[in-house]
Each structure stands twice: as C-alpha cells, then as structure tokens.
Chains A and B, each alone.
Chain A
C-alpha cells in the first residue's frame, strides 16, 4: 500500500483565515497520515474536525490534553514539542481509487476552532489516480483452484498478485445463481 503524509502547519496570523493547500496526488490505494502537530496552538484549539472528502464520516477527535506516559509514547512530544496530545497524534486514513474512473477528485477539509472564537479553515484537493493493471498487480500466480461438481460447475481460481501480495479470487459469475 502506498503511503502519503499530509503535513499542515499554520501560524497565529492565519488563525482566522481560509487556507488552501497544494494538490495531493495519490496513486492507487494510499494510506494518508495527517500530521497536524504544527497547527498553531499557543491559543487553545477547542474544536477540530476533519473531513477526508470521500464520504467517510466526519472525524471529530476527542480533545485529549494530557499524555499518559505509562501507556503512551513520549516521543511525539519530544519530536514535536509540547502541543496538546490530540494535535500530536497522527490521523490515518485510506484513500481508495475509483472503481471505474481513472481519477477520483475529492477535497480534504479541516476546521480548527479556537477558544477565542477564531476559526482556521483548511482545504486541500486530493486526486486519487487509478493505476493500470501492470502497475497495480504486475503478475499473478495461481495458488488455488476450486472446481465444484454442481449443476453450474462453479469454479474459482485463487491468484496471488506479485505486487502487495493480494489474494484475488476469480469465479465464473456468468453461471452464478443467488
């Protein structure tokens, strides 16, 4: 699976503004990590919402302010400074390519509300490109075959893709009955 890190940073001047980030070009299924640790937080952001843009539910993280060092790693705080925990946590999301089209255009949106009523609105166009068969699969080898001796001779071929090691099962659906 491809990975992509979307890093967002804001400054005090941008607190009450709309920010449009550059286009994120993704290829095939991609796990996107959202890094918002550089969001301006000297004034406490008491509301945060993340809309990934692909009809997944709106993410409104719990506002967890303290890190429990018995169970959580201290490294994010060392690496990124003493921002509230819910900002230093990385948020992960998987973008899937379109089932039928070559490109899928969605808009990532995020709102950060501050205790002083200011709101920062961020958005970023995200383009998920579908790759071709050879780029996404490369080669396949047969790992299993079922030939069923029933009325329709239902058969199923199990294949292992060379890229990412997916097991894909093909069947002769033209004969399938519900």
Chain B
C-alpha cells in the first residue's frame, strides 16, 4: 500500500518524541541521561504534529550551521526548561543520636532498668528487658539510636545495648495518663510484637539541621514525645493546647544526620566555596544561578538529540572565577560572581571548511583589570555608566582580595596619577591605602603628611592614625573645631577616609604588596652573613646587649629526633626546642637577678616557661620565636599562628642575661639523651647539614610589624594575582568556540568528507573487494580536490 501524501505540509512533522515525560507529552532526549527537555506535542487539523520544546521558546538566537543547529537560550535555570529525574533518597533507617534540645546538648540516653522495681513482683530476671530514658550533655556518652522508617508516617526507634546485645525499642506505655502525660520506656524486642513498637513521625528542616518529631496514638488521642525534667514523656496534643509551629519547634529532636529527601537537579550552575575539610561553605556559595545555555543538535538525525553547553556567565573577561561581583548587579546575593556575562547572539564565521568558529556575543558591564604583585598602571574606561564617578570605598576591591595592613608600606595602595584636587593646605597627600588588620576587609584611607616635619619614608611606615571604627562625625568635629584642628596638625601625618574617586579616562596606579615587601621590612637575617663567614661565635652576647632576638627555622621532613638549644653555664638557663617524633617541647628559662634567698635552680624555676605542641613532619613546619626583653613579651609561632605567648616584667630583665651561650643543634635518642655532636645552628645552616634549614636569626628584638613581616615572608609561598573590576556601561564582547567540528555531530555529511559507494559489483569474495578498495584509494586521490577526505568505501551488492 502506497503512502498517500495529503499536502506538502502533512508530509512534514515536528520531531517525534523519544521517550515520555511522566506519561505525559513526549520528549526529545538530552545528553545527560537523567535529564529531559520539557516539551509537549500537539496534533492540529490536518494530522500534523508540532512538538513545542520549552527550551526553544524565548531563544535568544538560532544558527543553522553545516548540519548542526545551535540555539542560544535566555538566561535561565536549567531546571526551568528541563526535568531532572530525581531520585528519592529517603533511607530505610537512620543511625543517629537524639538531641532533645534545638540549641544545646541534651542527648537521649538508654538507662537499664533498676532491679528494685522488679523485686516486689519477684521477677528480677525481667529487668534485663527494660530500660528507662535519661539524658546526657556529653555527646560521647550519648546512645546511638536506629530510626527505622516503615512508611511515610510510622517509624520505630531502637538501640542495642552494648552490654547484652539486646535491641530495645522506645515505646509509650499504656498506663493511664496523668496530667495529660504518659510514660515512655525501652522494651526489649522479645517482649512485644513488632507493631507495638511503632511510633509516628515527621521530619523537619532548618538550614542544614534536621529534626524529627515523634508521636504516639492511643485510641483517638495523639501524644508527642518531649523531654520533661530529664525523662521522656508523651504529652497529649489537643486542639486546645498550643500546637503551632513554635510548639513543634520546641518538641523537635535534632538528629546528627543531614536529611536530603529530594535531590535537586545537579546541573544548574553554582558557585561553590569549599572549607578546608572538603565540606561546602554555604555562606560563601551561591547555588542555582541562572545561565545562558548553548543547545545544539544534529539536523540530519532521525531523532532530536540535544546537547548543551553551560555558558560562562560567572567568569570575568579574563576567564577567571572571581569573587568580584558585578557592581551593577541587583541580584539577591551580592558577594559572589553571577550575571557577569549576558550572552546575546550567536555569530558564526567560517574561515575555511575545516576551520569553523562559532562566536557568542555577550554583554559585559565591568572592566576587568588584572593586578599582579608590584605596580600596575591602568586607565579607567571611557564611560563608567551608570556612575559618573566612584569612590574607592564603594568598589569591591576588598572583596576581590586587596590586602590590608596596619601600615601603608605593607598594604595595597592606589594612586591617582593625574590629579591635583586632593591637596590640603600645609599637608601633602601621600597615598590611598587599605587600612585594617590582616585578613580583614579594611577601609581605604588617604594618608597625608607634613613634608617639613617628617620624611616620606617615615610617613609610609607609621602605624595608622586612623582607627577603623572612625566615623565621619569625628572628622567633622576636628574640622569644625579650631583647637582640635591645630592639635591634629601637630601630628606628623594623618589618615582620613579616602576621597579617591575613579573617573572615566583617568590614569591610576595600583601597588599590590609582594613577598619581597615583607622580606625587605624584616630585619636583616644574621644568617646571611653567617653563610659567608662560616661559624660565628659568641653572638649571644650581642643578643643580651640588644635585649632580644628572633629565631626561626624550618623542620626538615625527614628529620629524626633532635634538640635546638642555647648553650649554658652553671646557671643552666636559656631556651631549648626538643623534637621527639611529632612532639615539640619548648622550654625557656630566664634567670632573674632580682630574686634572692633561694637556690639558683629554684630562682630559675620562677621564670621558666614550657609549652608542648605537635607538628606534622610531612607538612611544612616553620617554628619562629621572638623575644623582646624591652617589652617583656615572647611569642612562639607555628607557621603563621601564635601558639604560645608569655610576658615577664620588663624591669626584671634589665639586669640579666637572656642567653648564656650560642645556639646549637644536636641529635637525641628517643629517651631525650644526646647522641651526636652539637653543631652550632649557623654552621649547620652554612654547611647544609641535617634537621633544620632556612634558619633565621636576628640579634635584636623585633617590633610587632617586623615579627609579622618575618612570619609572612617565611610562610607565604606567593601573593596571588587578583582581578579588580570597574563599571564600564554595556560593552559587547565575544566568546569563541574554535572548533565547531568537535560539537558537530555528523562529520560524514560535511562537504569535504565523502563516502564512495560502489554499487552492484556483486563480488562476494572479500579479498577481491579489499583489493578494489585499495586500488580506488590509491588512484582516486589525484582526481579529487585536495581538501576532500575519503571517509569510507562501501561496496554495495544486489539485495
């Protein structure tokens, strides 16, 4: 029977469904197998069927390109146009502690029944099968319970006693209720039929915390399980009692497992920050961000298989993921990148048949400036729409990673180069710098100084005159009050909240701190000279004269047990680090001349400080000790953290010696007994011997900033580049796919790739047909255009 063609259109049909979405309309498939495009088919008069695919509605642009069709979607969540076949992950059971307080520690504890209650009935043997409820504030002591879910409403709560291996279920007793309450008990599994252990439940969520409510029905009454003075009771719920959501929240039992009953689609674009332990930091992550997608499908396949690219809406123009959000963004979350690019159209440009490019135009509202450690000059964009000018404190440089410090010379600084507007009378503008503690966001402030009174270098190095809690009111007070103003002017330098503004087409300079800055600011390392001159003797005398020292070293990964110790005389004072396996014992004994009347060792003991800490020899371990006898403060750092600090009265030290000999290193046995020859540490460093390297020693006390500079220069491997952004109005930019071939699903039909079909030859001997193939291949290439590629030679016989 022939095919009757009713009309030209009826021979055509929109692409048919592959599968079906929930038994409803059919759906074309998409590359990830658990994802289908939302769509529906409709049959119209005349018998033709059109399939409407939601993703292809509101398409921004469409391009028909050599057998592949491209569709650029609007900025949407993938969830809005696809259906993810989500899996219900509700487990059969949970193993968890039960915390009966929403904020605090009140864990349910299984308590074996006491014998006394059973003595009267002369059935003590039964006591082993019962238990009572009690609570503990200590998580380690808490009982673990197995919550078995039977259906959407019913569960059983049980625990297995470690002492007798019996499973006990939590039940509500049938005893008559007193004051609307019933008792609860633990009953062994052999005492009642399984159904008797059923409780009802519902699950609640608050952020990532999960809670369960437990109920029991007795006749027509319903009870909820509550902690009542250290015992679990079942309280009757009536319509008259307060039973709203706050009541439920009070009765919620926190479980230590996270409940995720429904898994959302994993394909939506998200910006995720991980904690050091690998978990996701939800406060620093943005989930389910709208994106543009590039869908593409082969145009000559019988089924409509789609594939898609998730486009880079969350990277800046330098292809970096950055924490600098779009300054113009009106989105709900403002900390992290989203909507940085908005793709608007597809632009295809075919250079040659084998080299096709597909470009995607996008609109970008930020001008990105890559900043590397050191000095970067940049010119602001010609338009900063929607702003005319932008104060530096309104930018998001700090969120991008600008570095704050308490001194301008160790903080990030910005200069406006072609500006003469911010000079105050009598004072000179020095720079704009980010003032604040390390790791804080800080505030951009302008530093002014009096060049007649103070040098530029000194003004750079001074600690802030500007407190970060400063308010505009204070500034106004100073400016309007002549006496205050004059007293302020007596200072050599001053900081005020920055007036620096970014205006279109102006030159600026950004100075990002570098590791070298810290190294320059740390006092000269005495070891540098030691390496040249070899062993140096009796430097401890210089330390005693100067009143302090700084000692730092890196423990080698393969170091054995050793001690770093200062030499001593009869007094036996000084410092020592004893490294035994992964434990370090620090001891610093100071001898105080002002103490009298006791033995020397007793007097020494009055000012002996000990601290033990653990190190991981497979990680980088930098130990740094800074002692300043003038202030009386000693800080011990492990890597970049202060792990131990002590203070001694500064006056005590004026008349005494800090160290009694140079510092040496010596291997020790497990028993702490010395085993090798002591080697002076600088000599050890100079001759590159064992145990430690990167020895740092100063013979003078360090200022706090110098300490930090040393810590930074030894522990920071590198200071990262960052990318700052300024508004620039709407700019068009292009994102390019260089090889369309790779996403072209049908190479066979490209014009330069051909199949050769040899029809009706009807030779069944494959050795002959193979010869024919070889002969054609070797001879035909000369007759074909050079760009033609022979894909295959098919020999087709009679059917």
Contacts and interface: CB of A to CB of B under 8 A. Distances in A.
Interface of A: 1, 12, 15, 29, 41-44, 46-47, 54-57, 60, 62-66, 68, 70-71, 73, 84, 94, 96-97, 99-100, 114-118, 130, 132-133, 136-137, 143-146, 148-150, 154, 156-158, 160, 164-174, 176-178
Contacts of A149: 749
Given A43-B244, A148-B749, A156-B299, 20 more contacts: A29-B52, A46-B213, A47-B152, A47-B153, A54-B22, A56-B22, A65-B248, A66-B249, A94-B54, A99-B43, A115-B222, A115-B224, A115-B248, A117-B220, A143-B62, A144-B69, A166-B56, A167-B59, A168-B52, A178-B302
A148 B243 contact: no
A41 B259 CA distance: 24
B38 interface: yes
A171 B67 CA distance: 13
B58 interface: yes
A44 B152 contact: no
Q: Which of A12, A118, A166 gathers the greatest number of chain B CB atoms within 10 Å?
A: A166
Q: Which of B12, B41, B49 gathers the greatest number of chain A CB atoms within 10 Å?
A: B12
- Please tell me the size bucket of the interface on B: 35 or more
Given A46-B202, A146-B67, A166-B52, A96 B14 contact: no
Contacts of A43: 239, 243-244
A172 B12 contact: yes
B399 to A, nearest CB: 16
A63 B16 CA distance: 40
A42 B244 contact: yes
Contact of A174 (B11, B59, B217, B239): B11
Interface string B275-305: 0000000010000000000000001101010
A177 B40 CA distance: 23
Contacts of B23: 55
21 contacts: A41-B244, A41-B245, A46-B213, A47-B152, A63-B204, A97-B40, A115-B213, A115-B222, A115-B243, A116-B222, A116-B238, A146-B64, A157-B12, A158-B64, A164-B58, A165-B57, A168-B50, A169-B69, A171-B12, A171-B15, A173-B16
Given A148-B749, A171-B12, A64 B206 contact: yes
Contacts of B48: 170
A174 B203 contact: no
A56 B215 CA distance: 30
Contacts of A56: 22, 24
A71 B333 contact: yes
Given A54-B22, A65-B249, A170-B14, A154 B244 contact: no
B217 A117 contact: yes
Contacts of B478: none
Contacts of A117: 217, 220, 222
Contact of A176 (B38, B69, B302): B302
Contact of A99 (B42, B217, B300): B42
A94 B38 contact: yes
B57 A116 contact: no
Interface string B337-379: 0000000000000000000000000000000000000000000
A130 B42 contact: yes
Nearest to A70: B283
B206 A66 contact: yes
B24 A54 contact: yes
Given A144-B69, A168-B50, A136 B42 contact: yes
Given A70-B283, A133-B44, A173 B22 contact: no
Interface string B242-261: 01110111000000000101
A46 to B, nearest CB: 4
A135 B206 CA distance: 46
A158 B486 CA distance: 79
A169 B49 CA distance: 11
A47 B62 contact: no
B11 A55 contact: no
B247 to A, nearest CB: 7
B328 interface: no
A97 B304 CA distance: 21
B3 interface: yes
A173 B13 contact: yes
Contacts of B332: 71, 73
Contacts of A47: 152-153, 202
Interface string B184-202: 0000000000000000001
Contacts of B51: 168
Contacts of B63: 144
A158 B61 CA distance: 13
B205 interface: yes
B562 interface: no
Q: Which of A54, A133, A167, A176 gathers the greatest number of chain B CB atoms within 10 Å?
A: A167
Nearest to A177: B302
Contact of A148 (B43, B67, B213, B283): B67
B707 to A, nearest CB: 37
A126 to B, nearest CB: 13
B164 interface: no
A44 B302 contact: no
B327 interface: no
A71 B262 CA distance: 19
Given A44-B248, A148-B300, A158-B64, A171 B13 contact: yes
B25 interface: yes
Contacts of B168: none
Given A41-B245, A171-B13, A60 B152 contact: yes
B238 to A, nearest CB: 7
Contacts of A84: 245
Contacts of A116: 222, 237-239, 243
Contacts of B57: 1, 164-167
A21 B220 CA distance: 29
A164 B152 CA distance: 41
Interface in B2-52: 3, 5, 9, 11-16, 22-26, 38, 40-45, 48-52
Contacts of A136: 42
A167 B62 contact: yes
Contact of A57 (B22, B220, B261, B302): B22
B53 A166 contact: yes
B205 A64 contact: yes
A173 to B, nearest CB: 5
A66 B40 contact: no
Nearest to A94: B38
A92 to B, nearest CB: 10
A142 B613 CA distance: 75
A146 B299 contact: yes
Contacts of B283: 70
Nearest to A83: B245
B556 to A, nearest CB: 46
Contacts of A160: 62
Interface in B213-248: 213, 215, 217, 220, 222, 224, 237-239, 243-245, 247-248
A167 B12 contact: no
A154 to B, nearest CB: 5
B92 interface: no
B71 interface: yes
Nearest to A52: B22
Nearest to A87: B245
B206 to A, nearest CB: 5
A54 B62 CA distance: 32
Given A62-B205, A115-B224, A168-B51, A55 B22 contact: yes
Contact of B203 (A63, A115, A172): A63
**6 smallest A-B Cβ distances: which pairs?**
A144-B64, A46-B202, A170-B12, A96-B40, A167-B56, A146-B299
B207 interface: yes
B63 to A, nearest CB: 8
